[in-house]
Amino acid sequence: MTRMHIGFDDTDSPRMGCTTYIAAILVEKLHKLGASFTDYPNLVRLNPNVPWKTRGNGALCLRIRCEQKIVKDIKETVIKEVEENADLSYKGTDPGVVFLFNHVPKQITAFAKRTIQDVVKMREALRLVEKFDAEAVGFKKGRGIIGGLAAIGENLEGDHTYELITYRTPENCGTPRRIDPSSVIEMNEKTSPLTFSNIDPEKSRILITPRGPDPVLYGIRGENPSAVRRAHEIVRSQEPIERWIIFRTNHGTDAHLRTVDSLSEVEPFNPVVVRGVVAEDLKVITGGHVIFTIQDKSGKADCAAYEPTGILQAVARKLLRGDLVEACGGVRPASSTHPMTINLEKLRILKLAPKVVLFNPKCSQCGKRMKSMGSKKGFRCKRCGFRSSKLEKVAVEDKRNLRMEIYITSPRSQRHLTKPLCRYGREKSNAPKQMIVDWHFP
């Protein structure tokens, strides 16, 4: 028997398609050819901050065992399916497929890690393909080879989650999705926190349905396959479901965030976790976005909490100069209009500076709060007429309405990779031992 890892990426475009759908079709086809699956299909989200990506940046890997004599058929089936379903006429859609045999070398796993946290080059991917006798097929610029190889390398041996994705029938694609919203609320009540990111409680918005023209009807995320399966059975769809499949993923694991020791190590396009002290008074710009600067001995960076981040933006508004925070998010390079900026996904409050409010002194004769007679001219009591040029304003420490905890962008603006609050403490440290791959196709 031959072990085979099949990675592919970059088949979709903003106007059509979904690489996960190709995976779902291929699971059916490879199963019929006689392949057996050694893992759930893996859906690996790569660095969401790479400059050329505007969508989810998800790559796929299918891991199978099969007889040597069907390897050729399998390869042909995969290449044909990618070619037929990719939006090849779209500029910027550059699909790639990678086949790797037997075990996954550590170097490819390290490459995957960098593809999730950093920016990698095509030639690095091609060098690894050659070194480990893998096979790569690229369409157009073939940039998808990078993601395909990364999906193979990310074995999800550490923290991981699951997503059950349902697909629409072709005639419904492009029309509004019809599912019963009350059934999603019911599903959330019955299965959360073993499922997550179902709804945004702030806006009562359903999050399991995407908005675009892709074939996904809805996706349910959760801690284990049985939780997402049970949740799917509670959701009532008012349109036919062509097929569904469960993926094992790095969704909701913060896999993209890398902790650095100082602000001088923050680099454009590298999602980061970094500490700093709020250096200046914050700015609220048009649209309600909050910008503040943090600094340490090594340098400075701006942080941005955009309006859709909801709670994060509200928390950022309360920061004061001198607060010690940990900023987490993608890094936008400096431009002519702004310095390098961390687009916040999370903000941890580590230390709050005292908030000092100055009051006029109380009258030493009658105890009433006095009135100022003008800058440096002293104070006068309105009740008894007492005057003093010696008294000064009194400093009183005011309460800060912030807790020493982590604040996370509201669910509606969380990235695929952002670990939601309900997952803290549920992180997995091992790959699952038993695999019962679960799907339904027509």
What is the smallest separation between the CB atom of 376 and Zn ion, expressed in angstroms?
21
What is the smallest separation between the CB atom of 325 and Zn ion, expressed in angstroms?
44
Looking at the DSSP bridge assignments, the partners of residue 263 are: none
Max CA distance (Å), the chain: 104
CB nearer Zn ion, residue 391 or residue 421 = 391
Residues near Zn ion (CB under 5 A)? 363, 365-366, 381, 383-384, 386
What is the smallest separation between the CB atom of 375 and Zn ion, expressed in angstroms?
21
Residue pair 220/195 in contact by the 8 Å Cβ criterion = yes
What is the smallest separation between the CB atom of 372 and Zn ion, expressed in angstroms?
14
CA distances from 163 to 30, 104, 117, 243 (A): 21, 23, 21, 14
CB nearer Zn ion, residue 312 or residue 370 = 370
What is the smallest separation between the CB atom of 395 and Zn ion, expressed in angstroms?
21
Query: Residue 343: which H helix or E strand, with range?
Result: strand 341-351
**Rounded to whole angstroms, how far apart are CA atoms 434 and 249?**
16
Ordered DSSP codes for 252-321: TS-TT-EE-SSGGG--TT--EEEEEEE-S--EEETTTEEEEEEEETTEEEEEEE-GGGTHHHHHHHT--T
Mark residue 129 as left, alpha or beta (left: phi above 0; alpha: psi -120 to 50; beta: remaining).
alpha
CB nearer Zn ion, residue 228 or residue 363 = 363
Rounded to 10 degrees, the C-alpha dihedral 22/27/32/33 comes to 80
Q: What is the DSSP letter of 423?
A: G
Residue pair 43/160 in contact by the 8 Å Cβ criterion = no
**Rounded to whole angstroms, how far apart are CA atoms 409 and 305?**
9
- Count of alpha carbons within 13 angstroms of residue 357, beta-carbon side: 5
What is the smallest separation between the CB atom of 388 and Zn ion, expressed in angstroms?
10
Ordered DSSP codes for 245-271: EEEEE-TTS-TT-EE-SSGGG--TT--
What is the smallest separation between the CB atom of 370 and Zn ion, expressed in angstroms?
7
What is the smallest separation between the CB atom of 357 and Zn ion, expressed in angstroms?
22
What is the smallest separation between the CB atom of 383 and Zn ion, expressed in angstroms?
5
What is the smallest separation between the CB atom of 309 and Zn ion, expressed in angstroms?
49
Burial string for 320-343 (b: 16+ CB within 10 Å, else e) reads beebbbbbbbbbbeeeeeeebbbb
Residue pair 135/162 in contact by the 8 Å Cβ criterion = no
**Rounded to whole angstroms, how far apart are CA atoms 224 and 155?**
16
Q: Give the number of other Cβ atoms within 10 Å of residue 16's Cβ.
A: 18
